[in-house]
Structure 1
Amino acid sequence: MDLVPTLGARLLIQLWRQLQVSRRRLPSPLASGSPCRKFEFNPKLGIDNPVLSLAEDRGPSDVWLCPERPRFCLLSKEEGGSFGFHLQQELGGARHVVCRVEPGTSAQRQGLREGDRILGVNRHAVEQEALEAVARLIRASGPRVLLAVVAGPALDTARAQQGDGALLCPTLGPGVRPRLCHIVRDEGGFGFSVTHEHQGSFWLVLSPGGAAERAGVPPGARLLEVNGVGVETLTHSQLSRRLWQSGEQVTLLVAAPEVEEQCRQRGMPLAAPLAEGWALPTRPRCLHLEKGPQGFGFLLREEKGLGGHLGQFLWEVDPGLPADKAGMQAGDRLVAVAGESVEGLGHEETVSRIRAQGSRVALTVVDPKADRFFRMVRLSPLLFLESAEAPASPQSTRSASGAETEDPPGADTALPRAPRGSRQCCLYPGPGGGYGFRLSYVASGPRLSISQVTPGGSAARAGLQQGDEILEVNGRPVDGEDDVDRLHQLAEAEPPLCLKLGARSPRGWSGL
C-alpha cells in the first residue's frame, strides 16, 4: 500500500529541511569573533528563533565573549592554610603573574591559572603596584580574597588597544559597594521582612525607622550572607530559621539595587571582601607607640586563642608607659605590624618585624570581642581599618612615646630602622635546624641574593622571597664571593640570623 503524505506532513518535512540548511550555514560564534545571542523562549509567541544554539548561557564577563575583560576569582582558605597559588613579578615589567597553582586548592577550583595576571585585589587596582605590596594586600585579606585576573595574551591585546597607562581593572567607588551591617533587635524586631523569587534569591523590605534601616541597610537590598554564611543555597524556611537562631543581633551582607547593577555591568561578583562596614559592633585599633626609656611597656606572647588557633597576644601592659597611653589592653591580639598582616607568623618572626620598626612602631590589634566578630563573618579586620595602610602620622590615631617583648634566649635588642628601600629580617632556625633558604652569587649586579625559599620554613614565614638581595648579615655588609661561605658558617652560630635585604629583583615571587 502506498503512503501519501498529507499536506501537514509535507510542510513539516520542508520546514525540517530548511532548518538543517540554516544550521549548516550558520557561522560559529567563536570563529566569527562575535558573541552568540542568548536563546529565549516565549511561551505565548512560540519559538521565534529557527536556529537552535547549543552554547551555554554566559554572563558579560566570560572570557570567550570578551577575553581582555578581567574575570574574578573569589578564593577562600582554612585557618593556617593558603589560597594555593604563587605569584611572581614579570621580568622587565610591573605585571604580577601567577606562576604556580596548587592542585586541589581554592585557587584551582575557582579557575585561577598559571600565566594569569593579577589586576585587582578586593577593591584595590594593583596594576601599578610593586609585587610586595600586592602580596601584602592578599595576606591582609584574611580567609577570603577577591582577585581580578586576565590571561596573559589577552592583557597584551588590551594594552595594545588602550595603552599601557590605562587601568583595566573595574572598581567600585566609596558608597557603591556591598555593606556589612550589624543589626541589634529592638522592640520592633530586626526591622525587615524577606521576599524571595526562588531558592537563594532574597530581598529585604525595611520597616521605616526600624533597626535594619538604622544599621545602614539600604532600601530594596539583596541579601547575600547571614553571619558570614552565604544564602545562595538556602530555602526561605532555612533562612528564617537562621535569622531566628541569631538571637538579639545579626550581621548581614547586603547590596543595594544600584550596587547590584554596577557589579552586573562590570562583571563583578557581589563578594564580601568588597564590603564596607556599617554599624559594626567593633573594629580593629591601630596603636602608634614611640619607645621610651623603659621600653614600650608590654609583653608579647604566643598562645592559643579562639578555636585553639595560635596567635600573638599582648599582656602585662604597664600603667603609664607608651603601650598603655596608646590604648593597648591586656588580651589584645596582634594582627598587623606597620600595616602588614602577621597572621600565621610564629613568635620569633613577629618579634623581628616589631624590632625592624626601630623606636617607633604601629601595631594593629583586636580585642577578644572584635576577634570573635571578624572570625564569625570570615573577614580580616584589616579590611575595615579607616585606610588600607597604617596611618603615617601618629596624630591620626592614639599614640604614645615606646615594646618589650618576651624574647627567646639570646635575642638582641630592637633593631635600628632599615634605610628606605631596604628591610630587616631576623631568622630563627626551624625544627630541623635550618633557616629554609638558598643563596646565589653573581659577579655583576646584585652580588648575593636569595635563590630559593622553602615553603613554610623560617625564611618564608619571615617574609624572605626569591630575588631578595642581601646587603648585610648580622650588621656586616656583604660585597664579595667570600660572604657566601661566611653566611653558611653563620648558620651554625647562635641565632638569630639578622639580614638586611635590598629591593627585590623582578624575579621575586611569593606563595599565597
Structure 2
Amino acid sequence: MRYTTGAANATEPPQKFTFNPKEGIDNPALVISDDTEPAVKPRLCLLKREEGVGFGFFLRKERSCRGHVVQQVSPWSAAERSGLRDGDRVLEVNEDFVDNQEYEKVVMKVQASGQQLCLLVLRAEDYEVAVSEGMDLVALARAHRGEDCARPRLCHISRVPGLGLGLGIIPIEGERGRYYLSPVREGPAEKAGVQPGDRLIWMNGSMVSTLTHSALAKMFRKSAEHVTIMVIDSRSEASYARRRLPILPAFASVHNLPHRPKTLHLVQGPQGYGFLLRQEKLSSGRIAHLMREVDPHSPAELSGMEDGDLLLAVNGEQAENREHEDIVSKIRQSGQQVTLTTISIQGRDYYTQLGFSPLLFYDQTNPKRESFPEPTLPRRDLPSNSPCPRLCVLHREGTGFGFNLACVQNRTGTYISQVVEGGAGEKAGLWEGDVVVEVNGQKVEEEHFEEVLRTIKKAGSPLRLLVLERAGYEKLRKSGLTISCGLISHSMQVPDSTQDCFV
C-alpha cells in the first residue's frame, strides 16, 4: 500500500538526476562566476607646491615602451603627499588626456600648471594590464570623471556700445558666493562662449566665491573694455564637487583669449639665426629674455619673429625663469634648428594679471605644425674608410655618468681615461681613449681640462658628448677638416633611448 501527502503529482515516481558538466547547474545560488574585467582604477592626485619649489618627481618617457612614467618621487614633496608613486603612468594632466601626446608637450603642461597640478594616473601593473588587453584608456579616464562632465571655459568678453558686456549675474538663493549667468542673446558674452545658466567661478584672476553680489557687480563695472571670466555648467560643477576637486583655470578650454603665444621654427642660415637674445628689466619690474636686432630676411624674421618679442620656451622647455647663459647654451645645443615660443610684452602682462602662464593653453592656441624641414648639415664627402665622430647621449645614474676624464699636462684637449663597466658611459657608446670634441654642442677640444670638467658638471642630464677615437682624431686634424656633428655617419650616432625631466 502507498501513502502520499500533499499534491497529487507527488505520487509520481521521482526522476533520476544526472549531472551534465556541459550544461552546468541552473541554480543562481550555486553558480560561481569569475569577474573577467580587471580592477583597473585610475587615481586622482592633486599636487600643491610652494612658490619656488618643484612638485618633486621626474617624468620619464622611454621610447621602447608606451606611456609617461613617474619616477624618483622625492620624500615629503608635493608629489608624495598627493599619493603619487614611482612607476605610476600618467593618463591625464589637468583633465587633459596625454598618454598619446609627445613627451615635450606633456612636460610643458606640467611646468606651466602653476602652484597646483592635477594628475590622473594608473599603477604600473594596472597600466600594463590595460594596454595588453586593449582597453580604451580615453574611455577609462572619461568614466572616472563622469560622461556628462565638461571642461570649465575661460571666456574673454569685450564691451559693445549700447550693450556693455551683455551679461546678467544672478545670485543662487541660499548659497553665499555662488552665481549663475544670463547672457543676452547674440550679445558679447554669448559670442565669447558664455551659456545661459553657467556658474561663474572666477573673474580676472580672482575666485568669486568670497565676493558679495555688490562687490562682484562693482568689479564688472570697473573692468574697463574687457573682462576674462571662467564659467562651468551645473552638471560639470557637480562632477568636480563629487571628486572633491577645485575648479582651476588649468582645467579650462579657452574662448576668444587675446595675446596668444607664437611658435617659431628656425633653421640656421649661413650667418646664424639672425637675432640677438637680450636679458632686460621691464617697466613692470619683471626680468625677461627679449628678441632684439632681428636681421632683415634672416631665418628669425622669416619665422615671424618681431623685435621685442618675449621668450617663453626653447624646444618645448620653459625658459622664463632660467639664467640667460643657460638659455643661450640651450639654443646652441640645438644645432642647426631650434623651436622658440614667444609672446608680446603686452600679452605677458595680460597673463600676469590673470595669474597664470601663457603656456598653460599652448596646445589650444597654436595649430599643429604640418612639417618642419630637416636642416641640411654642413658636411664634407668623406672616403668610406675615413674616421667618423660619434655623438654619445648619457643619462646620469646613481654613480654619475660612469667615466673619467684625463688630459696631457699643460696642453689643451681632454680624453676619456676610463669607462665604468655597465655604467652610463658604456651604455652610450664611449670608449677609453676617446677625445672629447663637444659637450652639449659646445666646442671644447681647445679648452683646458678644468674648463671641460666645469662644462660637463654644469650640463646636467642628459649629457651629449661628441667624441672620436685618438687615431681618427689626429687624422682628421691633419686633413684640415673641422670636426663637428656634420661628419657623423647615421650608423655611428648612438640613439637617445629615454627622456626625463624633474618637475
Looking at structure 2, the residues matched to 316 and 277 of structure 1 have their Cα atoms a distance apart, in angstroms, of: 33
In structure 2, the gaps of 5 or more residues are: 1-38, 377-389, 404-419, 441-447, 467-493
Q: Which of 41, 45, 48 is matched with 1:68 structurally?
A: 41
Partner amino acid, structure 2, of 1:84:
F
Report what 1:337 is aligned to. Answer: 314
AA paired with 1:439?
Answer: F
What is the aligned counterpart of 1:490 among 429, 452, 461? 452
Going from structure 1 to structure 2, the CA distance change for 1:329 and 1:90 (only over 3 Å counts) comes to closer
Q: Kindly name which structure, 1 or 2, has the bigger radius of gyration based on alpha carbons.
A: 2
Matched to 2:41, the amino acid is: E
Is 1:179 the counterpart of 2:153? The answer is yes
- Give secondary structure in 2 for the equivalent of 1:475: strand
- TM-superposition CA deviations, 1:401-445 (whole Å, max 9, x none): 99xxxxxxxxxxxxxxx98xx7799xxxxxxxxxxx943354136
Distance in 1, matches of 2:47 and 2:230, equals: 16
Q: Is the 8 A contact 2:277 2:290 kept in 1?
A: yes
SS of match in other structure, 2:348: helix
Instruction: Report the equivalent of 1:19.
Output: none
Q: Give the aligned partner of residue 124 of structure 1.
A: 96
Q: Does the CA-based 8 Å contact 2:45-2:83 persist in structure 1?
A: no
- In structure 2, which of residues 165, 188, 198 is the aligned counterpart of residue 190 of structure 1? 165
Check conservation: 2:40, 2:126, Cα contact below 8 A: no
Q: Would you say 1:292 and 2:264 are equivalent positions? A: no
- Closer/same/farther in 2, CA of residues 284 and 509 from structure 1, 3 Å limit: closer
Q: Distance in 1 between matches of 2:338 and 2:243?
A: 40
CA contact (8 A) 1:87 1:97 kept: yes
Equivalent in the alignment of 1:46: none
The percentage of aligned residue pairs carrying the same residue is: 30
Q: Do 1:116 and 1:149's aligned partners in 2 also have CA atoms closer than 8 Å?
A: no
Aligned residue for 1:376? Answer: 353
Seen in structure 2, the aligned counterparts of structure 1 residues 157 and 364 have a Cα distance that, compared at 3 Å, is: closer
1:447 corresponds in structure 2 to 425
Structure 1 residues 77 and 280: alpha-carbon distance in aligned structure 2, compared to 1, 3 A threshold: farther
Residue 330 (structure 2) aligns with: 353
- Name the CA distance, whole Å, in 1 between partners of 2:277 and 2:146: 38
Q: Is the 8 A contact 1:184 1:190 kept in 2?
A: yes
Residue 499 of structure 1 pairs with residue 477 of structure 2: no
More displaced stretch, 263-272 vs 297-306: 263-272
Q: CA RMSD in A?
A: 4.6
How far does the alpha carbon of each residue in 1:62-87 deviate from its partner, in whole angstroms, 9 at most, with x for none? xxxx9934224154654xx2343223
Q: What is the Cα deviation at residue 312 of structure 1?
A: 1.5
SS where residue 300 of structure 1 aligns?
strand
Where do 1:31-430 residues align within 5 Å? 68-73=41-46, 75=48, 78=51, 81-87=52-58, 96-97=69-70, 99-101=72-74, 103=76, 111-115=82-86, 117=88, 118-127=90-99, 134-142=106-114, 144-149=116-121, 152=123, 156=125, 165-166=134-135, 167=137, 168-170=140-142, 176-186=150-160, 187-197=162-172, 198-257=175-234, 259-260=236-237, 269-305=246-282, 307-386=284-363, 391-393=368-370
Cα contact 1:144–1:378 (8 A) shared by 2: no
Q: Is the 8 A contact 1:206 1:219 kept in 2?
A: yes
* 3-state secondary structure, aligned to 1:253: strand
Q: Could you tell me which amino acid in structure 2 is paired with residue 237 of structure 1? A: S
1:190 counterpart SS class: coil
Q: Distance in 2 between matches of 1:297 and 1:177?
A: 41
- Paired with 1:242 and 1:76, the residues of 2 have a C-alpha distance of 29
* Structure 2 residue matching 1:96: 3-state secondary structure: strand
Which residue type is aligned with residue 181 of structure 1?
C
Deviation at 1:488, TM superposition (A): 7.1
Q: CA deviation at 1:295?
A: 2.5
SS at match of 1:232: coil
TM-score (norm 2): 0.62
Q: Distance in 2 between matches of 1:75 and 1:208?
A: 40
Query: C-alpha separation between the residues in 1 aligned to 2:213 and 2:430?
Result: 59
**AA paired with 1:192?**
L
Alignment partner of 1:169: what SS?
helix
For 1:477 and 1:360, how far apart are their aligned partners in 2? 18
1:163/1:236 Cα in 2 relative to 1: closer, same or farther (>3 Å)?
farther
TM-superposed CA distance for 1:278, in Å, is: 1.0
Q: Secondary structure at the match of 2:57?
A: strand
